[in-house]
Structure 1
Amino acid sequence: MGRAWGRADEWLVRHWRTVVVLAWLAYAAYYLFSRYAQVRGFALGDTDDNLRLAQVRALLDGQGWFDLRQHRLDPVHGGADIHWSRLVDLPIAGLILALRPFVGGVEAERWACAIAPLLPMLPMLGAIAVLTRRLVSPRAAVLALAAMVFAGSTMGMYYPLRIDHHGWQLAFLAIVLAGLADPRRARGGLTTGVASALSLTIGLEMMIYLALAGVAQVFFWIVDPSERRRLIAYAGSLAAGTAVGFVLFASYANRAAVCDALSPVWLSDAMVGGALLVGLAFLPGRLTSSWAVRLAMAAVAGAIVAAFHALAFPQCLSRLEGVSPLATELWLSHVKEARPIYRHSAEIATLTLALPIGGLLGYLLLAWRARRASMKLARTLAVAAPAFTALALLMWQTRTGPAAQMMAVPGSVAIAFFLAPRAFRSENSLVRVLGTVTVVLIGMGAAVPLLSNYLPFPKELPKAMGKLVATANRRCPSLAALRPVNVQPKGTIFTFVDFGPRIIAMTKHNAITGPYHRNDRAIADSMLAFRGDARNARRIIVDTYRADYVLVCPNQSSATIFMAEAKKGFYVQLAAGKVPSWLQPVDLGPKSPWKMWKVVG
C-alpha cells in the first residue's frame, strides 16, 4: 500500500496540470447536474446576471460596442448608464452564436448562460494550484483543489447561470497571486501586470488587492535589487495592458473622468505609476545600492502618484460609486452584500469567516517556515497581504467574501499539509486519530461547513415570515410567474428595484431601474414611491417615469423593507387592497404570486 500510494503521489505531482483539468471537469459536471432544474427554468438568480444577458442581447441585436447604456431601463430618460465593459460579454455572445444553429435561439441563450460561468473556473483552479505548489509544496496542490469544495462563497460565482463578471475577476486575481509567488522574476512580473490590467478592464472591485500586488513588486525590489527585472515586466505590462483595455473596452460614458470604472482617471494613474517604476528599475546601481535608498525612492514615487491623483482627479478621493446620501439611506444600506459580516446571521458569518481565518493562521505558518529565505518570505507575505486585507474588509462589506475565501485556500491547506503528518506520528493514539482528523478538517476549510447543520444558529426572520419571504423570492422571478405578465401589451413596468433586470431579461416589457449606482436618482425615486402616499407615487410613476404598469411581489425581500419602515406607505396600501383610482387591476390568474395594475389616469 505504501508503494502504491507513493506511485499515486508521484503521478499527481508530475501530472498536476491534468489533475487541474480533471478537477475542473468534475466541478463543472456536478454543478450542471445539481443545478439542471435552474438551467431549464432559466433561473438567473442575481440581478447582475439578468442585466448581463440583456446587455449581450443588445450587443447581438446591433447596439454599439461602446454604447453600454441599457435602453430598456428608464427609457423615458434615455436609458440606464451601466459602468461595465464588454470583455465579459464576449464569451457569452460567442457561445450563443455557436449554439444557435444547433439548438435555436432560446436554448442557445439558456446553455450559453449555463456554460459561460464554468470557463473562468478553469484558470482560477489552475492559478490556485500553481500558487499552492509555489508557496506550500507541489504535493499540496491536490489538497487545494479539494479544499475549493468548502469555499462556498467563491465557488458560488461559478455556478451555471452566474454569468456576471465576478468569476472572471476572481480568476484574474488568482493569476495575480500566482505571479507574485513566481520565483522567475520577469515571468512573475509579466503575469501579475497582465492579469491586473485585465481585471481593471472588467471593473474596479479587486482594485485594493491589485494595488497591494503593485506595492509587492516594489517591495521585492527594495529587498533585492536584482528584482528589477520583475519590476520592469510588471510596470510595462500593467501600463500597456491598461491602455489596451481602455482603448478596446471603455464605453462612451467611461471615457469621461468617472471614478467607478476604467476611465482616464485610472488609465492616467497606471501610466504615471508604470513610468515611475520603470524609471526606478533603470537607475544606476551605484544610486540604489542601499535598501534604505531604494525605500526612500519608492516612497517618493508613491507620493508623486498620490499627489497626481489627488490634484488631477479630486472627485475620486471619496467613495468611488458616488451614490447620493438619499439613495444610500433608502437603498444601499439595505443591500445585504454591502453590509459588514457582523450584521448578518451567525450562520452566514461563521461559514464565510471560517476559511479566511484558517488561511490567516496558515500564512503565518508559511511565513515562519520561510523566515530564513528572504525572497521566499517576501513572496509569502506579498500573497498573504491581500488575503489578510480581504478578511479585514469583511468587517466593512460581505461582498469581499468570495475573494477572501479563494485567497485563503493556499494558507489554510498549509495547516493540513504540515501539521497533519506531525499529529499522525504522535505516540498518543488520541492525538494521532482525533488530532489528525481535526487538523485536516480545519486546514481543508471543512470543519465549519460539515458541522453547520448541527449548530443551533438563530434565524434572521421568524419562522412563518421567513417561509413567506422565501416562497415569494422563489416564485415571483420564475418563468411561469412572469408568463402572464409578458402577455400584457408591451409597456414600461414600475416595480421593485431588484426586479427591473429580471423584467427586461424575461419579458418584452421595459422597467424603470435596477440596483446600479449610476442610476441612483431612479433608485431613490422607486423607493420613495413605495414608501410615500398615493399622490406622491402617482407623481413619480406617471409624471416622472411615464410607466404603464405597477407590479409588486407581496412578501418578497424588498417588500419587507416597506412593510417595516413605511407601514402606511403606497406599497402597504396596495398589498392591503387600497388601490387608487388611477390604477386598474390586471388579472394574472388565481395562482400568480404577483399583483399588477395598469395605469389608467
Structure 2
Amino acid sequence: MTAANLPVRPFKWARLPIVASAFLLLAFIILSAASKWIPDPSVGWSDPDSMMRLVEVRDFRSGQSWFDNTQYRLNPPVGVLMHWSRLIDAAMTGFSSLAGLVAGEVNAEVVLVNVWPPLLLIPLVSALAAAAYPVAGVPGAVVTVLVVLCSPVVTNNFQPGALDHHNVQLVLVAIVLAGLSRFARVGAGIAVGVAAGTSLAVGMEQLATISVVAILVAVRWIWIGSAARSSTVAFSATFSITVCVLFLASVGVERWLMPVCDALSISYLLPALVGGIGLAVIATLSETLFGDRLRQGPRALAVFALAAVAVGSMAAYSPTCLAGPFAQVDPRLYPAWLDHVEEAQSLLFLSRNSPTDILVFLIPPALVLSGSLGAVRRVVPSEQFTMIAFAALLAVALLIAALQIRGAVTAQCIAAPVAAILIIKLRSLIAPSDRSLRGLPYRLGGIIFIPVVWLLLVVFLTAEGEAKVHKAEQAAACRGTLAKALGTRPPGVVAASSNLGSFLLATTPHAVLSAPYHRNTEGILAVTDLWAANLQDAQKIIERKGIRYIAVCAADSERGLFTALNAHGFLARITNSPPEWLSSILHIGGTHLFEVRNGR
C-alpha cells in the first residue's frame, strides 16, 4: 500500500479543546522559561530557599552522604542539620545528570535551574484538570487549565529558579485531588496513598492537608460501608507502606528513634502506620466478619478508637509534636526573626499592613469555597464526595492561609478545579439559545473565581507594586555587589542578615552565620545580638564566632528590624562610623562590606 492510499483518520473535533489546552500549557512553559531565564546560576537570584536547595544539590553531587543533611557552611563549625528531604535532592541530581548528557556537564546546572521548575507545571496542570473531569467533563478540564495559568500565586512557584520543594508539594496535592475525584476505583486509592505518603516524606507543609484526606477516607467508609472497602484499604495500606519505605530510605539509622516535628520522623511514622494499617485491617475484617450487616455506628466507634490509638502513639512518644511542625522551634526565634517573615504573616497582620494582599491571595479561593458549599447540594450523588472533599480541603487550606499567608498557594491550587467546576455549572443553568441579558451573570459570573482578575484590580487601584519592585531591585543589586566583592577574598565566616545567608552560600565559597531557617537558631540569634550590641560586646561575639567579614545591605528588609532593637547598636554604628578594628572593603551607596583586622 502506497502512502497515497493509506486511510486518513478524520480529526475528532471534540478533542480540539484538549489539544488547544495542551498547546497553551506548552506555550506558557516556554514563555515562562524564556522570560525568566537565569543564564548564570552562580550569580544567584532572589529566592533564598531555592538557592539553599541548589547548595544542597551541589554538596550531594560532590559526595556528601545521602543521610547527612547538614549544611556545614551555615553556622560553622558545627553546621545546621537541615529539615529538608534528600528525595528532592535526588530527583534534581538525576535531572541535572540527564541534562549534562544532553547539554554538556558545564550547562547541567543552568538547565536544572531553568527547566526543572517549569516542567513541573505539566504534571500539576494535568492532575488538576483530571480532578475536574469526572464532575465537569472536558469543558471543566479545559477551564481548569486556564484557571491555573491565570493564578500567578501558583505559577510563580514554577518559574525558572524555583528549586524549593513547594512546587513538588503542589504537584502531589494535585494528584491527591485527581484521585479523590474518582475514589471509587482501587487505582485511585493507591494513587492518593502514594501521593499523600510522598508528601509527608518531602516535607510537613501539607501535613494538615494529608490529615484531612485521611479523615475524609475514613468518614466515607463509615458512611458507605462495604461499597467503600476496596478503595479505603487501597489508600490506607498504600499510604502506610509509602511513609514507611520513604522513612527507611531517607532517614539515617542513627535518627530512627529521634522525635522530630518538622520532618518525617518516628513522630509521624508511628501514627501513619497505626492509622493506615489499622484502617485497612478494620475495613477488611468488618467485611469478612459482618458483610453489609455492620451499621454506621459501630464503624464510627471503630474508627474513633483507631484514631485515638494513632494520636496516642504520637502523644506517648513525642507529645511535643502534637502542637505541629514548629513545636520544637526555640521561642527566642519568634521576636528575633520568625514573627517578621513575610510568608508567615497572618490575616490580621495583612488587614492592618497590606490589605491589598488579601484580595490577591485569599479572596479568590474564599469565593470558590463559598460557591462549592452551594454546589454540593446541586450535584448528583455520585459527585457529592468529590465536592465535599474538595470543599473540606479548600477550607483547611484557607484556615492555614489565615494563620500564615504561605498557605494561600495551596488554597489557590485546590481552588482551581473547583472554580472550573463552578464555572461550568453556572453556564449550565442557562439554555444555550438564551442570549438575553438575564443570562449574562451566569456566563460571566465565574470571572470572580479567577485570581489574576483580582491581581489586575489591585495593580489598577494601587501603586504598591512599583515600590516593592524598586526595593527588590535595590536589594538584588546589593547582593550582587557583595557576592562579587567577596568572591575575590579568602574564605571566612560572614556575618550578615538571614536574607543574605543562602545567597552568599550559593554564590561564594564563604561560610555564613545566619540563613532563614528555624533550625539555625544559634546563627540567627548570634547575628541579632551582634547587630544590637555595643562595640565591646560586638568584639566578643565576633571573636567567639570566628567572624571575618561583615556584610550589610541598606535595602535589606531585615535592617529596619535590627536597628529598631538598638538605634545606637553595632549595625547603626558601622554604617556611619566603623571602629578602627574594621577595615572597609566596600562602601557603595547602601552596600557595605567590612573585614575584621587580623581576621580569622
Give the TM-score normalised by the residue count of structure 1: 0.90
> Is the Cα contact below 8 Å between 1:490 and 1:509 reproduced in 2?
yes
Deviation at 1:591, TM superposition (A): 7.2
Deviation at 1:252, TM superposition (A): 6.2
SS of the aligned residue for 2:596 comes to strand
Question: Which whole-Å CA distance do the structure 2 matches of 1:137 and 1:357 have between them?
Answer: 24
1:307 is aligned, of 312, 317, 326, to 312
Map of 2:301 onto structure 1: 296
Give the 5 Å matches for 1:315-354: 315-321=320-326, 322-344=328-350, 345-354=354-363
Moved more, 173-182 or 337-346: 337-346
Deviation at 1:302, TM superposition (A): 0.9
Map of 2:116 onto structure 1: 116
Map of 1:362 onto structure 2: 371
> Is the Cα contact below 8 Å between 1:92 and 1:113 reproduced in 2?
no
> Is the Cα contact below 8 Å between 2:356 and 2:458 reproduced in 1?
yes
Residue 439 (1) aligns with residue 445 (2): yes
1:595 is aligned, of 581, 588, 593, to 593
Deviation at 1:30, TM superposition (A): 1.5
> Is the Cα contact below 8 Å between 1:21 and 1:122 reproduced in 2?
no
Provide Cα deviations, 1:168-193, integer angstroms capped at 9, x if missing partner: 01100111111111143311211110
Deviation at 1:481, TM superposition (A): 4.6
Give the 5 Å matches for 1:70-149: 70-76=71-77, 78-100=78-100, 107-149=107-149
Deviation at 1:469, TM superposition (A): 3.6
Moved more, 204-213 or 249-258: 249-258
Residue 10 (1) aligns with residue 17 (2): no
Question: Which whole-Å CA distance do the structure 2 matches of 1:410 and 1:379 have between them?
Answer: 11
Give the 5 Å matches for 1:227-266: 227-251=228-252, 254-255=255-256, 256-266=258-268
Q: Which amino acid aligns with 2:343?
A: E
Question: Which whole-Å CA distance do the structure 2 matches of 1:446 and 1:497 have between them?
Answer: 32
Q: Which runs of 5+ in 1 are unaligned?
A: 1-6
1:285 is aligned, of 268, 290, 313, to 290
Provide Cα deviations, 1:387-411, integer angstroms capped at 9, x if missing partner: 1111122210011011000001122
Deviation at 1:270, TM superposition (A): 1.0
Question: Which whole-Å CA distance do the structure 2 matches of 1:185 and 1:312 have between them?
Answer: 36
Q: Which runs of 5+ in 2 are unaligned?
A: 1-10
SS of the aligned residue for 1:258 comes to coil
SS of the aligned residue for 1:116 comes to helix
> Is the Cα contact below 8 Å between 1:358 and 1:445 reproduced in 2?
no
> Is the Cα contact below 8 Å between 2:494 and 2:511 reproduced in 1?
yes
Aligned-CA RMSD value: 2.6
Question: Which whole-Å CA distance do the structure 2 matches of 1:8 and 1:439 have between them?
Answer: 31
Deviation at 1:498, TM superposition (A): 1.7
Deviation at 1:26, TM superposition (A): 2.0
Q: Which amino acid aligns with 2:271?
A: D
Map of 1:378 onto structure 2: 385
- With over 3 angstroms needed to count, the CA separation of the structure-2 counterparts of 1:102 and 1:236, relative to structure 1, is closer
Provide Cα deviations, 1:460-489, integer angstroms capped at 9, x if missing partner: 99x6xx6874343221233x5521221011
Deviation at 1:531, TM superposition (A): 2.0
Give the 5 Å matches for 1:419-498: 419-420=426-427, 422=429, 429-433=436-440, 435=441, 438-456=444-462, 459=464, 469-478=471-480, 481-498=482-499
Map of 1:586 onto structure 2: 585
Question: Which whole-Å CA distance do the structure 1 matches of 2:385 and 2:224 have between them?
Answer: 10
Provide Cα deviations, 1:263-300, integer angstroms capped at 9, x if missing partner: 11211111111221012112222585211221121111
> Is the Cα contact below 8 Å between 1:362 and 1:414 reproduced in 2?
no
- With over 3 angstroms needed to count, the CA separation of the structure-2 counterparts of 1:181 and 1:530, relative to structure 1, is same
SS of the aligned residue for 2:323 comes to coil
Map of 1:4 onto structure 2: none
SS of the aligned residue for 1:83 comes to coil
Deviation at 1:158, TM superposition (A): 0.6
Question: Which whole-Å CA distance do the structure 2 matches of 1:26 and 1:557 have between them?
Answer: 35
Question: Which whole-Å CA distance do the structure 1 matches of 2:301 and 2:400 have between them?
Answer: 29
SS of the aligned residue for 2:509 comes to coil
Question: Which whole-Å CA distance do the structure 2 matches of 1:69 and 1:477 have between them?
Answer: 25
> Is the Cα contact below 8 Å between 2:582 and 2:594 reproduced in 1?
no
Deviation at 1:366, TM superposition (A): 2.9
Moved more, 396-405 or 517-526: 517-526
Provide Cα deviations, 1:469-527, integer angstroms capped at 9, x if missing partner: 4343221233x552122101111111111211111111111111311112212212211
Give the 5 Å matches for 1:129-278: 129-225=129-225, 226-251=227-252, 254-255=255-256, 256-278=258-280
Deviation at 1:451, TM superposition (A): 2.2
Deviation at 1:167, TM superposition (A): 0.5
> Is the Cα contact below 8 Å between 1:154 and 1:406 reproduced in 2?
yes
Question: Which whole-Å CA distance do the structure 2 matches of 1:37 and 1:52 have between them?
Answer: 16
> Is the Cα contact below 8 Å between 1:495 and 1:550 reproduced in 2?
yes
Map of 2:528 onto structure 1: 527
Question: Which whole-Å CA distance do the structure 2 matches of 1:362 and 1:41 have between them?
Answer: 46
Moved more, 217-226 or 181-190: 181-190
Moved more, 203-212 or 23-32: 23-32
> Is the Cα contact below 8 Å between 2:497 and 2:558 reproduced in 1?
yes
Map of 1:3 onto structure 2: none
Give the TM-score normalised by the residue count of structure 2: 0.90
SS of the aligned residue for 1:222 comes to helix
Deviation at 1:24, TM superposition (A): 3.5
Provide Cα deviations, 1:206-258, integer angstroms capped at 9, x if missing partner: 01000110111111111211101111101110111111101111256753221
- With over 3 angstroms needed to count, the CA separation of the structure-2 counterparts of 1:198 and 1:112, relative to structure 1, is same
- With over 3 angstroms needed to count, the CA separation of the structure-2 counterparts of 1:41 and 1:22, relative to structure 1, is farther
